[in-house]
Structure 1
Amino acid sequence: MSFDEEWAAARTTAAASVSMRLNQAAPGTGGQDLELNQDHIGAIGTEAHMLHSRLQTDGKHAAAATAEAAGALGKEGFASGAALTRLNSRWESQVKTLGAACAQISNGLNYSLSSHDKEEQRLYAEFTTSKLDEYLK
């Protein structure tokens, strides 16, 4: 059997396996519905916010020293000075990207909790109103 044939067979087997798992509830779960635990969601949002805050300071603590070292190396004619400058620039870019992702996670979870609470209140009010209407008739 050639590599291409073996690879195609492995892909087919894997796709069938994934499809079967996606179409079934996990054993022993009883097919439970997704449950929103506000304490857990809130804790994850808090951790994401704390990570975002720490990245703003801890992610940049070596920037000045790195820039100084890159300048000194470049001044002495070492190519590693320019490489260190590029490295520092890339590092800062990655820290900003990670910080933005943490902020997005935190804000998204806060929004989800807030909108869930509002929806719960709206449903409760509608249910209460419909029960009152039922009793008044």
Structure 2
Amino acid sequence: MRLNQVAPESGGSGNADLSVDQDKLGAIGSAAYALHGRLAKDGKHAEASTGEAATQLSGHGFLTGSAMSTVQRTWSSQLGTLLDACANISNHLDYSAASHAKEEQDIKAALAASRIDQYFK
């Protein structure tokens, strides 16, 4: 079995460290949360009137009514997917920031404990 892959970029040192900037994670998470709030409100703005128009047009025999109904269902589905994605991003970044902060505290505690241990020998 062979998996296709992208060739590594040239010029890298190979000694890169993973670093997390809590402020950047927080800013991205906040933006995702704000986008979720706006989408939840504004994305459903015309849902009721579009549904009513589709029903009225279909009731009077216009093919546009069923097409409008299809557009409304598609929009609602895609809006739900986008809302879920924004919530997932926001929640994941909140979790990541908290997780990294806890790991940092655990590492500091382990280092402090190892320094104490050397005095007992």
Q: Which amino acid in structure 1 is aligned with residue 101 of structure 2?
A: D
- List gaps (5 residues or longer) in structure 2: none
Report if aligned partners of 1:25, 1:31 keep a CA contact under 8 Å in 2.
no
Alignment match, 1:5: none
Describe the superposition over 1:67-125 as per-residue Cα deviations: whole angstroms up to 9, x where unpaired: 11111111110011011011101101100000000000111111111110110000100
Q: Which amino acid in structure 1 is aligned with residue 18 of structure 2?
A: L
- List gaps (5 residues or longer) in structure 1: 1-14
Classify the secondary structure of the residue corresponding to 2:80: helix
Q: How far, CA to CA, are the matches of 2:9 and 2:37 in structure 1?
A: 41
TM-score by length of 1: 0.78
Identity among equivalent pairs (%): 47
Q: How far, CA to CA, are the matches of 1:101 and 1:32 in structure 2?
A: 29
Alignment match, 2:75: 91
Q: Which amino acid in structure 2 is aligned with residue 54 of structure 1?
A: R
Q: How far, CA to CA, are the matches of 2:52 and 2:118 in structure 1?
A: 76
Alignment match, 1:60: 44
**Structure number, greater radius of gyration:** 1
Q: If each structure's helix is expressed as a fraction of its own residues, which one has the higher value?
A: 1
Q: Post-superposition shift, 1:34?
A: 2.9
TM-score by length of 2: 0.88
Q: Is it true that 1:37 corresponds to 2:21 in the alignment?
A: yes
Q: Post-superposition shift, 1:33?
A: 2.1
Q: How many residues align?
A: 118
Q: How far, CA to CA, are the matches of 1:32 and 1:57 in structure 2?
A: 42
RMSD value over aligned CA atoms?
A: 2.0
